Amino acid sequence: MPKITFLPTRLSATPITLEIPKGANLMEAATDAGLPMGDACGGNCACASCHVYIIKGFDSLNTLEDQEDDVLGFAEDIREESRLACQVIVGAEDLTIEITDESQVAFANEHPEHREQISPR
């Protein structure tokens, strides 16, 4: 199973590595693991709150489709390695993921019960 490493977040000062089966949805895996990733539209490719950077393994992922590309246009600080996690299907390779600060702030706004755990930057 591919190993997915999430770089430190506002909730964790150390990286978190998960083993996720090939074919899994990246956002569902991250949110199931309690990682601070926004999911405002419920994974329907309509909000960009799940914006992540694919630091390693980008080419092993499914292709970015037109709708994802359009919605990514609403995200802040878009880079070549940007994807919407709700549209990412994990491939056979290990990944390294950075959850954007924008996405972590969206998580805090969507989940007020975790706000006190989210460290400010």
- Binding region for ligand FES (CB under 6 A): 39-41, 43, 45-50, 71, 84, 86
CB of 14 to ligand FES, least distance (A): 25
CB of 63 to ligand FES, least distance (A): 16
CB of 93 to ligand FES, least distance (A): 22
Compute CA distances 18 → 32, 50, 54, 58, whole Å.
11, 18, 15, 17
* 73: Cβ contacts below 8 Å, ≥ 6 apart: none
Name which of 107 and 116 has its Cβ closer to ligand FES: 107
Name which of 39 and 98 has its Cβ closer to ligand FES: 39
Which residue matches tokens 């994802």? 68
The span from the CA of 92 to the CA of 68, in Å, is: 22
